[in-house]
């Protein structure tokens, strides 16, 4: 069975206060995107990488792939107006219905080989899985101008990769977009699929703000 990793890198550098899209920013002299791709290839050398980039940054992506992954076939395609549309564009590159698809935020560059491998193993039986971690903070639920405390034990913080069978995921993405589709699990849930949670990883941070780069550097230092 073929395996695909759809790496969604459609963001820009606005919250990083940079003109460089965050997926291309350097961490220890390597673009963030490179760390992400390396983790997936280390987890399974047979994974097919599909890289979804903003249309006006496709050439930059090709240059990075050529520099760091010379000889490795990596599919690069353009994203869309939303995450939903970007993932849909990535899924269009997959022809096989009997494959496994991991969809991952490309700027979760500290994703571990262990988490990727566990995702590949768990999806065999459960068919639709997402990694998540518990909230360490108190949580309140907003209801208009009111709010109320809810137990943090009932709240999970969702990560990626989110892993599914391609036949299910591609069919789920045939619907029209709506604002409730914040990730792939929400699209699959709307299509009637049960979502299973596996243990995420505290280090699997989404690099969004400048401080996240500092944290990521410390994670790399501690891994050495």
Query: DSSP secondary-structure letter at 137?
Result: S
Strands (E), 109-222: 128-134, 139-143, 146-150, 156-158, 162-165, 196-199
- Please compute the mean of the pLDDT values over residues 74-99 and round it to a whole number: 95
Return the higher-pLDDT residue of 137 and 13.
137
* pLDDT over 60 at 12, yes or no: no
pLDDT at residue 62 in the model: 95
Domain ranges of the chain: 3-130+160-223
Query: DSSP secondary-structure letter at 46?
Result: T
- Residue written as token pair 């940054």: 57
* pLDDT over 60 at 14, yes or no: no
Is the pTM higher than 0.85? The answer reads: yes
69 with 38: CB under 8 angstroms? no
pLDDT tens for each residue of 105-146: 999 999 999 999 999 999 999 999 999 999 999 999 999 999
- Please compute the mean of the pLDDT values over residues 87-115 and round it to a whole number: 96
Beta strand 26-27 with 30-31: parallel, antiparallel or unpaired?
Answer: antiparallel
* pLDDT over 60 at 176, yes or no: yes
Q: What CA dihedral angle connects 162, 166, 171 and 172, to 10 degrees?
A: -10
**Cα–Cα distance measured from residue 177 to residue 122, given in angstroms and rounded to the nearest whole number:** 28
pLDDT at residue 165 in the model: 97
* pLDDT over 70 at 98, yes or no: yes
Q: What percent of the chain has pLDDT over 90?
A: 90
- The pLDDT confidence band at residue 17, using thresholds 50, 70 and 90, is low
CA atoms within 13 A on the CB side of 196: 14
* CATH code that applies to domain 3-130+160-223: 3.90.550.10
- Residue written as token pair 């995921």: 169
- Residue written as token pair 């995107």: 33
* pLDDT over 80 at 224, yes or no: no
188 with 172: CB under 8 angstroms? yes
Helix (H) or strand (E) holding 6: strand 3-8
DSSP string, 195-212: -EEEE--TT-----SHHH
pLDDT tens for each residue of 150-168: 999 999 999 999 999 999 9
pLDDT tens for each residue of 30-85: 999 999 999 999 999 999 999 999 999 999 999 999 999 987 899 999 999 999 99
- Please compute the mean of the pLDDT values over residues 200-211 and round it to a whole number: 96
């Amino acid at each position: 069975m073929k395996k695909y990793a759809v790496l969604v890198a459609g963001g820009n550098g606005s919250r990083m206060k940079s003109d460089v899209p965050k997926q291309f920013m350097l961490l220890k002299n390597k673009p963030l995107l490179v760390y992400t791709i390396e983790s997936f290839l280390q987890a399974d050398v047979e994974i097919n990488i599909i890289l979804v980039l903003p249309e006006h940054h496709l050439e930059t992506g090709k240059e990075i792939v050529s520099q760091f992954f010379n000889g490795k076939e990596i599919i690069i395609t353009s994203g869309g107006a939303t995450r939903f549309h970007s993932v849909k564009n990535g899924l269009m590159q997959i022809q096989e219905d009997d494959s496994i698809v991991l969809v991952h935020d490309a700027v979760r560059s500290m994703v571990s080989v262990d988490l990727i491998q566990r995702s590949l193993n768990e999806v065999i039986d459960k068919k639709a899985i997402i990694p998540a971690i518990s909230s360490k903070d108190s949580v309140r639920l907003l209801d208009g101008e009111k709010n109320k405390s809810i137990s943090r034990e009932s709240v999970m913080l969702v990560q990626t990769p989110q892993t599914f069978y391609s036949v299910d995921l591609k069919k789920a993405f045939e619907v029209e977009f709506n604002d409730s589709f914040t990730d792939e699990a929400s699209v699959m849930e709307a299509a009637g699929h049960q979502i299973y949670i596996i243990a995420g990883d505290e280090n699997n941070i989404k690099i969004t703000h400048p401080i996240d780069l500092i944290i990521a550097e410390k994670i790399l230092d501690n891994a050495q």
